[in-house]
Amino acid sequence: MKPTLEYARACDEADVLRTFRERFAIPTDSSGAQLLYLCGHSLGLMPLAARQLVNQELDDWARLAVLGHEQATRPWIPYHENLAAGLAYLSGARPDEVVAMNSLTVNLHLMLASFYRPSGRRVKILIEAGAFSSDRHAVASQLAWHGRDARTDLIELTPEARSEVISEQAIEDCLKRHGDEIALVLWPGVQFRTGQAFDLARIVSAAHRAGCIAGLDLAHSIGNMPLALHDYAADFAVWCSYKYLNAGPGAIGGCFVHERNISAAPASRLQGWWGHEAATRFRMEPRFAAEAGAAAWQISNPPILSAAPLLASLELFQQARIERLREKSNALSSFLELLLQPLELELITPRAPASRGCQLSIRIPGERSRGRRVLDRLGELGVICDWREPDVIRVAPVPLYNRFAEVFTFSERLTQVLREIP
Ligand SMILES: Cc1ncc(COP(=O)(O)O)c(C=O)c1O
């Protein structure tokens, strides 16, 4: 295979998922030309059907006002139920193990309130060094909430020397050494900066062997690759919906609680009226009776206008099928990797397709200012990708809407820019 534009176009023609692109709004420049959007790892594109579904809610609000809670086209009181099947499909869960609610960090706090229960010697939390700031803030503040100190009770596992990635073996070794002091492991499905995808089944079972609770942050995994949360037996998982799930800025997040943790009803679950069983919620009685499933962790009534776009997007995933998307994603990322080879840049994302998703993280050699100029110049040339400190450009060809020809054009523009900015 020669990595040429002709080859890329042939791949696009042969792509069984090619028509899904037409169902998204592709951003344009001031002259109306389509931008080269490779930033779905940060904010996914808008499914065209999102407008229709949001307008439907606005129309129902205008037409029905408060009556919409029960009489809207999709009544608002049980609105989260519309999302459960699609989220269960993408996360590999049972529909009652998932719920759309809040946003990621809020959900993480709610899960930690239930599942981080330090006791005796087992008080620590294990995360990866360089975790997303919000995750670190959440666990550090939970430690403090329990009267503990992140300086001693937060273990941040660093990558092996001269590497950016953390092997599953290293996680297992850490759990063997320190497992009896660790109450909870919080691990990402895909690391936000490096793009490394982890073997979650292996990490969850290592955590459980060590007697720890296993929680997952799937911000960069859901919609990016198939998941099987129920079978991994993760205790809980949280995610946002604005990246690969294309549900729009600040969209409603999601949460998974394993069935066994639902039936065991945790000692501590923060409560609000929306987690109360729906049948008796409006009796407004002081006694709390939990709704069935993960829905019991809901606190407030859901933001309908930020949930409607998710419904539009989940529908597309169910049609495209996540296995087919994963196959195309592997092909897109491998094509990009091949095209980048002559540029002799360092990819900090693992080479093995099983250990990465859509995103490739490219280290730009030289001063930080050079990297920033490269990113800015790419922007001037109509390429949307992003930057993570101190020196990484993240690029994600997303199989629902990106094309092989776009990956080719990206490599050409990057080649040009690196030549312009030596
Ligand atoms: C890994 C990870 N954790 C947490 C967050 C924060 O999400 P939110 O603002 O929805 O709480 C993000 C957002 O990009 C993320 O990528």
Q: Whose CA is nearest to atom 7 of ligand 1?
A: 104
Our answer on whether the CB atom of 240 is closer than 6 Å to any ligand 1 atom is yes
Our answer on whether the CB atom of 219 is closer than 6 Å to any ligand 1 atom is yes
Our answer on whether the CB atom of 217 is closer than 6 Å to any ligand 1 atom is yes
How does pLDDT run along the chain (422 residues), one tens digit per residue?
A: 678 999 999 999 999 999 999 999 999 999 999 999 999 999 999 999 999 999 999 999 999 999 999 999 999 999 999 999 999 999 999 999 999 999 999 999 999 999 999 999 999 999 999 999 999 999 999 999 999 999 999 999 999 888 899 999 999 999 999 999 999 999 999 999 999 999 999 999 999 999 999 999 999 999 999 999 999 999 999 999 999 999 999 999 999 999 999 988 777 899 999 999 999 999 999 999 999 999 999 999 999 999 999 999 999 999 999 999 999 999 999 999 999 999 989 999 999 999 999 999 999 988 999 999 999 999 999 999 999 999 999 999 999 999 999 999 999 999 999 999 98
Distance 135 CA to ligand 1 centre (A): 7
From 87, 59, 84, select the one nearest 73 (Cα to Cα).
Answer: 59
Distance 108 CA to ligand 1 centre (A): 10
Contacts of 176 (CB under 8 A, 6+ apart): 210
Distance 228 CA to ligand 1 centre (A): 21
Using most ligand atoms within 8 A of CB, pick from 105, 221, 255 the residue to mutate for ligand 1: 105
Contacts of 323 (CB under 8 A, 6+ apart): 226
Our answer on whether the CB atom of 337 is closer than 6 Å to any ligand 1 atom is no
Model pTM score: 0.97
From 306, 315, 298, select the one nearest 240 (Cα to Cα).
Answer: 306
Distance 189 CA to ligand 1 centre (A): 13
Angle of CA points 385, 26, 73, to nearest 5°: 120
Our answer on whether the CB atom of 239 is closer than 6 Å to any ligand 1 atom is no
Using most ligand atoms within 8 A of CB, pick from 240, 252, 358, 387 the residue to mutate for ligand 1: 240
Q: Which residue has the tokens 């993280």?
A: 361
The pLDDT > 70 percentage for the chain reads 100
Does residue 95 have a cis bond before it (omega within 30 degrees)? no
Contacts of 414 (CB under 8 A, 6+ apart): 340, 343, 374, 378, 383
Q: Which atom of ligand 1 is nearest to the CA of 107?
A: 11
Q: Burial of 106 by CB count in 10 Å (0-12 exposed, 13-18 middle, 19+ buried)?
A: middle
Q: Which atom of ligand 1 is nearest to the CA of 131?
A: 1
Using most ligand atoms within 8 A of CB, pick from 133, 186, 192, 361 the residue to mutate for ligand 1: 192
Distance 275 CA to ligand 1 centre (A): 23
Q: What is the pLDDT of residues 84-111, one digit of tens each?
A: 999 999 999 999 999 999 999 999 999 9
CA pair distance 414, 33, nearest whole angstrom = 19
Our answer on whether the CB atom of 132 is closer than 6 Å to any ligand 1 atom is yes
Our answer on whether the CB atom of 43 is closer than 6 Å to any ligand 1 atom is no
Distance 241 CA to ligand 1 centre (A): 10
